[in-house]
Amino acid sequence: MTSGDFTKFYETPGQVSAAVRHHSWIREHACPLRLPAFVVIGPTSLTYQRVEGRPVQRKDLLALAALLGHAHGSAWASDLRAADLATPHRFQDGTAFADYLGPRKAALQHRLEQGYLPNKAALHAMQALLESTAEGPTAFYKDSNPRNFLITDAGAVFTVDTDDLTLAPMAYDLAKLIATLLLTYGPLSDQAIDAALDAYNEAAGHHDTRLGATDRDRLDDFLVLHAVLTAPYIGRNGYSHDWPPNYPRLRGRA
Predicted local distance difference test score (pLDDT) of residue 159: 96
Predicted local distance difference test score (pLDDT) of residue 93: 67
Q: In angstroms, rounded to a whole number, what is the distance separating the alpha carbons of residues 20 and 213?
A: 32
In 3D space, the residue among 129, 85, 123 whose CA is nearest the CA of residue 106 turns out to be 123
Average pLDDT over residues 230-250: 82
Separation in Å, CA 164 to CA 48, 78, 117, 210: 17, 20, 25, 26
Q: In angstroms, rounded to a whole number, what is the distance separating the alpha carbons of residues 163 and 143?
A: 10
Contact 172, 224 (CB under 8 A): no
What type of residue sits at position 190?
D
Q: In angstroms, rounded to a whole number, what is the distance separating the alpha carbons of residues 143 and 168?
A: 11
248: CB partners within 8 A, 6+ apart: 190
In the chain, the domains with their CATH numbers are 53-233 (3.90.1200.10)
How do residues 104-117 score in pLDDT, each as one tens digit?
999 999 999 999 99
Predicted local distance difference test score (pLDDT) of residue 243: 86
**Strands (E) located in 56-130:** 89-90, 96-97
Residue 213 CA, distance from chain mean position: 19
Q: In angstroms, rounded to a whole number, what is the distance separating the alpha carbons of residues 177 and 34?
A: 17
Q: In angstroms, rounded to a whole number, what is the distance separating the alpha carbons of residues 140 and 89?
A: 10
Predicted local distance difference test score (pLDDT) of residue 1: 43
Counting residues of the chain whose pLDDT is more than 90, the rounded percentage is 87
pLDDT: which is higher, 114 or 3: 114
Average pLDDT over residues 139-151: 96
Predicted local distance difference test score (pLDDT) of residue 173: 98
Separation in Å, CA 45 to CA 18, 55, 79: 12, 24, 28
- The vertex-236 CA angle with 139 and 183, nearest 5°, equals 55
Average pLDDT over residues 215-233: 95
How do residues 14-69 score in pLDDT, each as one tens digit?
999 989 999 999 999 998 999 999 999 999 999 999 999 999 999 999 999 999 99
Q: In angstroms, rounded to a whole number, what is the distance separating the alpha carbons of residues 128 and 131?
A: 5
Average pLDDT over residues 61-81: 97
Q: In angstroms, rounded to a whole number, what is the distance separating the alpha carbons of residues 68 and 170?
A: 10
Contact 49, 5 (CB under 8 A): yes
CA torsion through residues 251, 136, 69, 194, sign: negative
Predicted local distance difference test score (pLDDT) of residue 246: 61
Q: In angstroms, rounded to a whole number, what is the distance separating the alpha carbons of residues 143 and 76?
A: 18
Average pLDDT over residues 151-180: 96
Predicted local distance difference test score (pLDDT) of residue 91: 77
